[in-house]
Structure 1
């Protein structure tokens, strides 16, 4: 398991970090984003999408649960905050083990359905625009991904 923590001073800096991560991902990678409302999860995802070459506007899929975007590889952006039943069958494994990369906001709502190997990213307010970003891996692939990002 690999861990890394850093601070960003603006949404743009957070997006730049996410864009760099997007340049390293492969199909089947799963990234979870944790943090309070307004912590920067959607800004992170916007930067990530830019790094994948997504041309569409990216916003939170609050009412649709999953939005798909075309980029270098498909991006599956999930916001599962409004899930009422953690075990509700949504076919998420088709996304997690599919042809794209999954970014999941509020992952605790579907903890039992998440793949074991994933990159966990937590965002914390440390000022009006400053964020502390903590990342840790949970398996071999996510460890490799985090090491690549950290030493890039």
Structure 2
């Protein structure tokens, strides 16, 4: 269910969307972020993490696969860009990040789709200009959609 679809989204508006989105997130949520390089996936994750009271600097885990941030709720930030396909051993490792007491945000999730489980949210970012992007946020469950509506 598409809960937000906007074009011409600059950095300020992306941050506003991120803060509202953070209010809709709950422990146990899995968020998949799709988009080309430079569309704002890591920026959105940074906004989400800080809105969830993470104090650490939020950086892309491109070379480490995962960064774990502590706060009132643990935020797991995965970047699967460098993985072509997730084997059985790696699948078990990925599953460890999707827990009932953490929020898991995954950039480039394609390689791990079979291993990660069903997401509550899917984000699509697409370049429009050097300074703007199209944003589509999908709630994958009725409960997630309700949370988005009350997060306004």
Q: TM-score, normalised by structure 2?
A: 0.87
Q: Deviation per CA, 1:14-63: give whole Å up to 9, x if none.
A: 12211221122111011111000001101111111111111111110011
The 4+ residue runs of structure 1 with deviation greater than 6 A are none
Q: Gaps (5+ residues) in structure 1?
A: none
Q: Offset of 1:128 from its aligned partner?
A: 1.5
CA gap 1:82/1:4 in 2 versus in 1, 3 angstroms: same
Contact 2:9 2:135 in 1 (8 A): no
Aligned residue in 1 for 2:121:
119
| 3-state SS of paired residue (1:101) | strand
Alignment match, 2:141: 139
> Match of 2:24?
24
What secondary structure does 1:32 align onto? strand
For 2:3 and 2:24, how far apart are their aligned partners in 1? Answer: 17
Name 1:51's counterpart in structure 2. 51
Aligned to 1:86: 86
CA-based RMSD: 1.8
CA-CA distance at 1:79 after TM superposition: 0.2
Q: State the alpha-carbon separation in 2 of the partners of residues 79 and 107 from structure 1.
A: 7
Rounded to whole Å, the distance in 1 between the matches of 2:134 and 2:83 is: 27
Contact in 1 for aligned 2:121/2:138 (Cα 8 Å): yes
Q: CA separation in 1, counterparts of 2:60 and 2:51?
A: 17
> Post-superposition shift, 1:138?
2.3
Shift in Å, 1:90: 4.0
Q: Distance in 1 between matches of 2:101 and 2:81?
A: 24
Equivalenced residues, count: 150
Asked if the contact 1:31–1:104 (Cα under 8 Å) also holds between the matched residues in 2, the reply is yes
- Normalised by the size of structure 1, how large is the TM-score? 0.87
| Structure 2 segments unaligned to the other structure (5+ residues) | none
Q: CA–CA distance in 1 between the matches of 2:118 and 2:37?
A: 25
Q: How far apart in 1 are the matches of 2:82 and 2:2? A: 30
Q: Distance in 1 between matches of 2:73 and 2:17?
A: 18
